[in-house]
Chain A
Amino acid sequence: MSIDISDIPALARGCAVLGTGGGGDVRTGSLAAIRAIQTYGPVPLVELAELPGDALVVPLSGIGAPTVSHEMIHSEDEAKRIAEEIERIFGRPPAAVMSSEIGGSNGVAPVAWAAQLGLPLLDADAMGRAFPEVQMVSMYVAGLPADLVVMSDVVGNIVTIRPIDGLWSERLARAVCVAAGSTALMADYVLTAAQARGAVIEGTVTRALAIGRATEGTAEPLRALEERLGAARLITGKLTDVERRTTGGFVRGTATIDGTGDDRGRTLTLELQNENLVALENGRPRAMVPDLITVVDTETAAAVQTEGLRYGQRVTVLAWPCDPLWRTPKGLETAGPRAFGYDLEYVPIEELVKGEPRG
Chain B
Amino acid sequence: MAEGALRIGIDVGGTNTDAVVLDASDRVIAKAKRPTTPDVTAGLRAALDAVLAEVAAWERITRVMLGTTHATNAILERRNLGRVAVLRLGAPATTSVPPLSDWPDDLRKAVSAGEAIVPGGHYVDGREISPLDLGAIRRFMDGVRADAVAVTGVFSPASADQERVVEELVGNEYGLPVSVSHEIGSLGLLERENATVLNAALYGVAAHVTDALVTALAERGLGAQPYLAQNDGTLMTVAHAARLPVSTIGSGPANSLRGAAFLSGARDAIVADVGGTSTDLGVLVGGFPRESAAAVEIGGVLTNFRMPDILAIALGGGTVLRAAGAMGVRVGPDSVGYRIAEEALVFGGSTMTLTDAAVAGDRVPADAAGWRGKGDMSETFRDTLQRALAVADAMVIDAVDRMALGRADRPLVAVGGGAFLLPAEIPGVSRVIRPEHAEVANAVGAAIALASGRVDTILPAGESRSKAIERAKEEAAARAVAAGADPAGVEIVDLLEVPLSYLSEPAVRVHVKAAGPLSR
Residues of A within 8 A of B (CB): 27-28, 31-32, 34-36, 64-65, 67-68, 70-78, 112, 154-156, 174, 177-179, 181-182, 240-241, 246, 248-250, 308, 310-313
Q: Roughly how many angstroms separate A312 CA and B97 CA in the complex, as a whole number?
A: 34
- B residues 389-422 in Cβ contact with A at 8 Å: 401-406
If the complex has contacts A77-B95, A182-B124, are A70 and B187 also in contact, measured as CB distance less than 8 A?
yes
**Chain A binder among B234-242, B259-267, B314-322, B495-503:** B495-503
Is B124 touching A312 in the complex (CB atoms < 8 A)?
no
Residues of B within 8 A of A (CB): 90, 92-98, 101-102, 121, 123-125, 127, 129-130, 154-155, 187-190, 293-294, 302, 401-406, 499-504, 509
Q: Roughly how many angstroms separate A154 CA and B123 CA in the complex, as a whole number?
A: 10
Q: Give chain A nearest CB distance to B446 CB in angstroms.
A: 29
Q: Roughly how many angstroms separate A294 CA and B404 CA in the complex, as a whole number?
A: 25
Pick from B95, B124, B405: contact of A75, CB below 8 A: B95
Contacts of B293 in A (CB 8 A): 310
Is B93 touching A65 in the complex (CB atoms < 8 A)?
no
Contacts of B102 in A (CB 8 A): 31
Contacts of A312 in B (CB 8 A): 401-405
Q: Roughly how many angstroms separate A154 CA and B403 CA in the complex, as a whole number?
A: 41
Is B189 touching A71 in the complex (CB atoms < 8 A)?
yes
Q: Give chain B nearest CB distance to A182 CB in angstroms.
A: 5
Q: What are the 9 A-B residue pairs with the smallest beta carbon separation, nearest first?
A: A154-B93, A65-B502, A312-B402, A249-B501, A76-B95, A181-B123, A73-B94, A32-B96, A311-B405
Q: Roughly how many angstroms separate A36 CA and B97 CA in the complex, as a whole number?
A: 9
Q: Give chain B nearest CB distance to A267 CB in angstroms.
A: 14
Contacts of A249 in B (CB 8 A): 501-502
Contacts of A156 in B (CB 8 A): 92
Contacts of B503 in A (CB 8 A): 65, 68, 178, 182
18 A-B pairs whose Cβ atoms sit less than 8 Å apart in the complex: A28-B97, A32-B96, A34-B101, A35-B98, A64-B502, A67-B509, A70-B187, A72-B90, A72-B154, A72-B155, A73-B96, A75-B93, A75-B96, A77-B92, A155-B130, A156-B92, A308-B294, A312-B405
Q: Give chain B nearest CB distance to A8 CB in angstroms.
A: 12
Closest-by-CB residue of B relative to A36 is B96
Q: Roughly how many angstroms separate A181 CA and B500 CA in the complex, as a whole number?
A: 13
Among B94, B124, B154: residue with most chain A CB under 10 A: B124
Closest-by-CB residue of A relative to B186 is A71
Q: Roughly how many angstroms separate A64 CA and B406 CA in the complex, as a whole number?
A: 34
Contacts of B190 in A (CB 8 A): 28, 31, 73
If the complex has contacts A68-B502, A70-B188, A311-B406, are A31 and B97 also in contact, measured as CB distance less than 8 A?
yes
Is A65 touching B500 in the complex (CB atoms < 8 A)?
yes
Is B501 touching A31 in the complex (CB atoms < 8 A)?
no
Q: Give chain A nearest CB distance to B416 CB in angstroms.
A: 22
Q: Roughly how many angstroms separate A310 CA and B338 CA in the complex, as a whole number?
A: 36
Contacts of A241 in B (CB 8 A): 406
Contacts of B96 in A (CB 8 A): 32, 35-36, 73-76, 78, 112
Contacts of B124 in A (CB 8 A): 65, 67-68, 71-72, 181-182
Contacts of B98 in A (CB 8 A): 35
If the complex has contacts A72-B154, A182-B503, are A240 and B97 also in contact, measured as CB distance less than 8 A?
no
Q: Give chain A nearest CB distance to B156 CB in angstroms.
A: 9
Contacts of A310 in B (CB 8 A): 293
Is A250 touching B97 in the complex (CB atoms < 8 A)?
no
Q: Give chain A nearest CB distance to B384 CB in angstroms.
A: 25
Closest-by-CB residue of A relative to B127 is A181
Closest-by-CB residue of B relative to A313 is B402
Closest-by-CB residue of A relative to B92 is A75
Q: Give chain A nearest CB distance to B520 CB in angstroms.
A: 41
Q: Give chain B nearest CB distance to A18 CB in angstroms.
A: 22
Q: Besides the contacts A72-B121, A73-B189, A181-B123, what 9 more A-B pairs have beta carbons closer than 8 Å?
A: A73-B190, A75-B93, A76-B96, A155-B93, A174-B502, A178-B503, A181-B124, A250-B501, A312-B401
Q: Roughly how many angstroms separate A35 CA and B99 CA in the complex, as a whole number?
A: 11
Q: Give chain A nearest CB distance to B158 CB in angstroms.
A: 9
Contacts of A177 in B (CB 8 A): 502
Contacts of B294 in A (CB 8 A): 308
Among A32, A71, A181, A240: residue with most chain B CB under 10 A: A71
Contacts of A68 in B (CB 8 A): 124, 502-503
Is B501 touching A71 in the complex (CB atoms < 8 A)?
no
Q: Roughly how many angstroms separate A248 CA and B189 CA in the complex, as a whole number?
A: 26
Closest-by-CB residue of B relative to A178 is B504
Q: Give chain A nearest CB distance to B443 CB in angstroms.
A: 30
Closest-by-CB residue of A relative to B93 is A154
Contacts of A78 in B (CB 8 A): 96
Q: Roughly how many angstroms separate A250 CA and B500 CA in the complex, as a whole number?
A: 10
Q: Give chain A nearest CB distance to B502 CB in angstroms.
A: 4
Q: Roughly how many angstroms separate A45 CA and B401 CA in the complex, as a whole number?
A: 46
Contacts of A74 in B (CB 8 A): 93-94, 96
Contacts of A179 in B (CB 8 A): 504
Pick from A67, A155, A248, A308: contact of B187, CB below 8 A: A67
Contacts of B188 in A (CB 8 A): 70-71
Contacts of B499 in A (CB 8 A): 246
Contacts of A65 in B (CB 8 A): 124, 500-503
Q: Give chain B nearest CB distance to A50 CB in angstroms.
A: 28
Q: Roughly how many angstroms separate A161 CA and B125 CA in the complex, as a whole number?
A: 24
Q: Give chain A nearest CB distance to B240 CB in angstroms.
A: 26
Q: Roughly how many angstroms separate A64 CA and B94 CA in the complex, as a whole number?
A: 15
Closest-by-CB residue of A relative to B401 is A312
Q: Roughly how many angstroms separate A202 CA and B123 CA in the complex, as a whole number?
A: 37
Q: Roughly how many angstroms separate A119 CA and B101 CA in the complex, as a whole number?
A: 23
Contacts of B189 in A (CB 8 A): 70-73
Is B101 touching A35 in the complex (CB atoms < 8 A)?
yes
Contacts of A35 in B (CB 8 A): 96-98, 101
Q: Roughly how many angstroms separate A34 CA and B406 CA in the complex, as a whole number?
A: 41
Q: Roughly how many angstroms separate A37 CA and B501 CA in the complex, as a whole number?
A: 32
Q: Give chain B nearest CB distance to A119 CB in angstroms.
A: 16
Closest-by-CB residue of B relative to A34 is B101
Q: Roughly how many angstroms separate A248 CA and B404 CA in the complex, as a whole number?
A: 32
Closest-by-CB residue of A relative to B91 is A75
Q: Roughly how many angstroms separate A332 CA and B24 CA in the complex, as a whole number?
A: 72
Is B406 touching A71 in the complex (CB atoms < 8 A)?
no
Q: Roughly how many angstroms separate A64 CA and B97 CA in the complex, as a whole number?
A: 18
Q: Give chain B nearest CB distance to A191 CB in angstroms.
A: 25
Q: Give chain B nearest CB distance to A184 CB in angstroms.
A: 11
Pick from A73, A178, A248, A311: contact of B97, CB below 8 A: A73
Q: Roughly how many angstroms separate A178 CA and B129 CA in the complex, as a whole number?
A: 14
Contacts of A36 in B (CB 8 A): 96
Is A178 touching B93 in the complex (CB atoms < 8 A)?
no
Q: Roughly how many angstroms separate A76 CA and B97 CA in the complex, as a whole number?
A: 8
Q: Roughly how many angstroms separate A70 CA and B403 CA in the complex, as a whole number?
A: 28
Closest-by-CB residue of A relative to B192 is A71
Among B294, B401, B502, B503: residue with most chain A CB under 10 A: B502
Q: Roughly how many angstroms separate A65 CA and B92 CA in the complex, as a whole number?
A: 19
Q: Roughly how many angstroms separate A239 CA and B68 CA in the complex, as a whole number?
A: 36
Closest-by-CB residue of A relative to B402 is A312
Q: Give chain A nearest CB distance to B271 CB in angstroms.
A: 16
Contacts of B154 in A (CB 8 A): 71-72
